[in-house]
A and B are shown apart, each in its own frame.
Chain A
Amino acid sequence: MTEIHLKNVHKAYGELEVIHGINLQVQTGEFCVFVGPSGCGKSTLLRIIAGLEGITSGTVEIDGSVVNDVSAAERGLAMVFQSYALYPHMSVYKNMAFGLENSKMPRAQIDERVRNAAELLQITDYLDRKPKALSGGQRQRVAIGRAIVRDPKAFLFDEPLSNLDAELRVVMRKELSALHAKIGGTMIYVTHDQVEAMTLADKIVVLQKGIVEQVGAPLELYNRPCNAFVAGFIGSPRMNMFEGHAVRDAAGLAISIEGLRLDLSDLPSIKDGDKLTIGIRPEHIAVHADGLGELTTTVKVTEQLGGETYLYCDAPGLPQITVHQPGQLPIVKGQALSLSFSRAQMHVFDATGKTVANGLTV
């Protein structure tokens, strides 16, 4: 049962600061996912927790005790690396037993633990093989097994699925989720793939440029992003974003973007002339076959996936609009398409990107 607490953690390489004061608490048994674009510092943060990187200032606490000066070996955490980092010259069994041998565990106990973990991960048949004789998915299991046998305080995963093909990734994702349910334990998982984050996490930490943008449950981030970055990062395909200025007209304060008028009168914090960004997710845009929507666009690309359809539409003066519709639509490239936008699911961001409103009421 492990709680990990970061307090005002800074990390700099020489002059270059890459982590700018991060405060974060990971609760016991929680599956916490760090997500962000490459270079956002998520892997560095994980390595800081692991003890593989030192910090410039702040404290890292594990179960209430400060571990800033405790070596990686002594922190009692286990890590699964992106490259798996299996020892190529050792058999699968040896790979899994290595950590236990180092802590001077009796042989019988090592054997029992390794076999139990192998059973759990269904790799018993491969115990005598060398890593190079395994497929990517099997290596991944061995790497996880190596972490499990140590019965660590917490599991750290550094983009563990990114070397697998798409199909296997989905399978392993489910298995990881099941594994967490089975063995419990605190897990911290780093990924740049927001789908992995959404599907696995109890709590998602969105990072950008070394700062935490938002922490929350997956759907909370999806429904109530606290800024434009999180709104854009979470959700696939990306949220559509339109820029414009608030203008007071006869009917009150509103924003008009190329013929699309949004009433902002219930947002008192917005003043006349403010630069705003409007965001709306592809699935919250409705298609009007009768042509009576708010905006007429031209379909540039259609992606018919059978179960769902993605439409990429151009409208003069606007960035390309992505529309997601369930089922199969008889729409072809070049066709004119009338769209309408659900006000209740519209997000408004101010000039700095901060969320002004998640959903308009009028």
Chain B
Amino acid sequence: MAQLICRDLSLGYEGKALIEHLNFSVEKGDYLCIVGENGAGKTTLLKTLLHLHAPLHGTIEAGDGLRKDEIGYLPQQTLVQRDFPASVWEIVLSGCQRRGKWHLFYSSADKQLARQSMEKMNITNLSKRCYRELSGGQQQRVLLARALCATQKLLLLDEPVSGLDPKATEEMYALIRSLNQEGITIVMISHDLSAVASDASHVLHLGKKIFFGTKQDYLKSENVHTFDRKGDE
């Protein structure tokens, strides 16, 4: 059984649908890239998968031992965070919030998990640094470490490389690839066709014509051409 199954999903705001009749599923260990032009509803889809938005129609089911709160999330940076006084450690540890329980203080197991996540992301040495003084790539790794505290199963990434320089971008992709190889399912919004081509196992293209399938099929499909053209703009 798949980890996430979306059946006949319609998404949008105030009754206006951005996406209709969306069907797709994510298996354990998949690396799904969500592509499409701006305004096609990529972030809305991600927020719906996180249960931040209710879908207009259709269902999202979690399966294969995945509880719906076991999803890690790497959001795009907000204005508030850019000058937020917080240490890397405080932020990573905040990934250990638990759903619905009266879990007010972090246990030593939580702290251990936070340390492990930081090690995986190579940011142990930054632990005491202030978040707002880090480079863009380092900040993304901090947020990724936080997401790892929330899940060991499925990560949703919203344009993890936006605003990063080529070197940091490459490092970020390498980290995501290694997490995927460890067995963590990746669902990523991307603008970057080369990343889709090299790393993804499946592609979901949102737009007038929705495509869902394996990367090989996608690269042969006609959607890839519209994506190419959008990418040049």
* Same complex origin of A and B: no
Interface residues of A (CB under 8 A from B): none
